[in-house]
Structure 1
Amino acid sequence: MEPLEIRITHDFICPWCWIGETKLEEAIAAEGASENVKYVFVPYELNPDMPQEGRDRKAYRTAKFGSWARSQAMDAHVADEGRLHGLSFDYEKVKRTPNTMAAHRLVWFAQHEGRDARALVHAIFRAYFTEGRDIGDRGVLTDIAASVGLDRARVNELFASQDGYAQVRKLEAASALASIHAVPYVKLGSEVVSGAQPVPVFRRALRVAMNGDAEPRIAAS
């Protein structure tokens, strides 16, 4: 039987994407389906107009949410939810909001090379949210890629070229045409889970997608 394709549309500055992907993995493990699924990561830039060098996070978040205090309250909520699923968010270390195009190009490259990109994706999330590294910096991304087994020279070649740029833009355009306007957005076969839903929601969608145990239903955030 062909593995079930799970398409995860996400961005690396979205904490709920990391949380949602972790809940999805918990659901897959609980259903004993780890060997029967194939992950495909689909790029989505929350800030497509972000300068390549990124922006100071405090200034960016204050402008976006009206006050730094509100941003900090939101961060605390995220950290509490992440902790329940074994994820560490250390916002004291996160100084910049990055441009995520290079990170998405890197994941595109890994998948184009036929690799399972899960370890790379989680390493990028962890580098940003836990370690406070600038994942808009290509040197940082190259180090992350090498740490999960990608060839450093090949990654350097990627970033010395324009490879992946047009492909990421094409994938983003396809998401827009499909009316995907928020992430995470997880498509399990014909089932859809929108948002970082509770693990049982992912488990139900997975069962329906794999076995047809219930009527398909979209879980909206």
Structure 2
Amino acid sequence: MTLDIDLVSDFVCPWCFLGKVRLDRALADLKASRPDLDVRVNWLPFFLNPDTPPAGEPYRAFLEAKFGGPIKAEAVLDTVRAAAADDGVQYAFERIQTRPNTLDAHRLIYRAQSHGQKPARVQALAHALFAAHFQEGRDIGDKDTLADIAAACGDRRELVRAWLDTRDDIDKVRRMAEGVRRQGVEGVPFFILNRKMAVSGAQSAAVLGAAILQSLETGKPS
């Protein structure tokens, strides 16, 4: 049996990072009881702020402008930290200097998927992009940084770096993001399970697991 999951996210969304970790946990639990299950996770791009400058923008200033000052911004970050604590996800928001434009990060994931890289490698790349931004404070809008991340996940750095300087797949990624919004997705993470069910938000691993099981059962002959 095959499980297809379309995961809509943005790499500057802390809830998307948490959602990815929780999905991994739900899938690990599921595979323990259903080892024959073929799981395919397809990443779809979303731009939280489509007007982010190509070179990014100062992270803290962005947060304070969005949430109404430093105290309110810190309260929002504390909420994220608290929600992620039980899942073992630690954020280092204080290390982030730049809120990047994520077009090239989404291109990198699209490239990995369209080139037929192994699913485990694609998932490792996605996790590495989140970790680079939220835990290491690296600028994932920077092409050199992206090439380094791809190389650490098994790709050839020089090929990735040269490809990032082209315009390959830019239009495709933008069309995909536009298509997701046209389908009514306004917030992320957003999970589409077997094209039958949708789950919105960084739900717990238990909730995601129950929804996945339901999507596997839906449509089965009685």
Whether these two folds match at TM > 0.5 is yes
Residues 6 and 188, structure 1, Cα contact 8 Å, conserved in 2: yes
Residues 147 and 158, structure 2, Cα contact 8 Å, conserved in 1: no
* Corresponding position: 1:86 with 2:91: no
* Corresponding position: 1:48 with 2:54: no
Report matched runs for 1:187-202 at 5 Å: 187-189=192-194, 190-202=196-208
State percent identity of aligned pairs: 35
The partner residue of 1:110 within 109, 112, 116 is 112
- Count of residue pairs the alignment pairs up: 213
Q: Secondary structure at the residue paired with 1:155? A: helix
Report matched runs for 1:125-144 at 5 Å: 125-144=130-149
Stretches of 4+ aligned residues off by more than 3 angstroms: none
Residues 18 and 125, structure 1, Cα contact 8 Å, conserved in 2: yes
Report matched runs for 1:169-184 at 5 Å: 169-184=174-189
- The separation in 2 between residues aligned to 1:19 and 1:182, in whole angstroms, is 14
1:213 Cα deviation after fit: 9.4
Stretches of structure 1 that go unaligned for 5 or more consecutive residues are 215-221
* Structure with bigger RCO (C-alpha 8 Å, 6+ apart): 2
Residues 16 and 189, structure 2, Cα contact 8 Å, conserved in 1: yes
> Which residue does 2:76 correspond to in 1?
74
Amino acid at match of 1:138: K
- The separation in 1 between residues aligned to 2:181 and 2:82, in whole angstroms, is 31
Q: Secondary structure at the residue paired with 1:19? A: helix
1:143 Cα deviation after fit: 0.3
Residues 207 and 213, structure 1, Cα contact 8 Å, conserved in 2: no
Report matched runs for 1:137-156 at 5 Å: 137-156=142-161
Amino acid at match of 1:199: A
- The separation in 2 between residues aligned to 1:87 and 1:141, in whole angstroms, is 22
Deviation readout 1:17-57 (Å, 9 max, x if unpaired): 01111111111111225752101000001111101111111
- The separation in 2 between residues aligned to 1:7 and 1:99, in whole angstroms, is 22
- The separation in 2 between residues aligned to 1:99 and 1:135, in whole angstroms, is 8
Amino acid at match of 1:5: D
Amino acid at match of 1:126: A
Q: Secondary structure at the residue paired with 1:110? A: helix
Q: Secondary structure at the residue paired with 1:85? A: coil
> Which residue does 1:9 correspond to in 2?
8
Stretches of structure 2 that go unaligned for 5 or more consecutive residues are none
- The separation in 1 between residues aligned to 2:216 and 2:181, in whole angstroms, is 27
- The separation in 1 between residues aligned to 2:163 and 2:6, in whole angstroms, is 24
- The separation in 1 between residues aligned to 2:134 and 2:97, in whole angstroms, is 10
- The separation in 1 between residues aligned to 2:26 and 2:42, in whole angstroms, is 17
1:47/1:98 Cα in 2 relative to 1: closer, same or farther (>3 Å)? Answer: same
The alignment's TM-score, normalised by the length of structure 2, stands at: 0.91
> Which residue does 2:18 correspond to in 1?
19
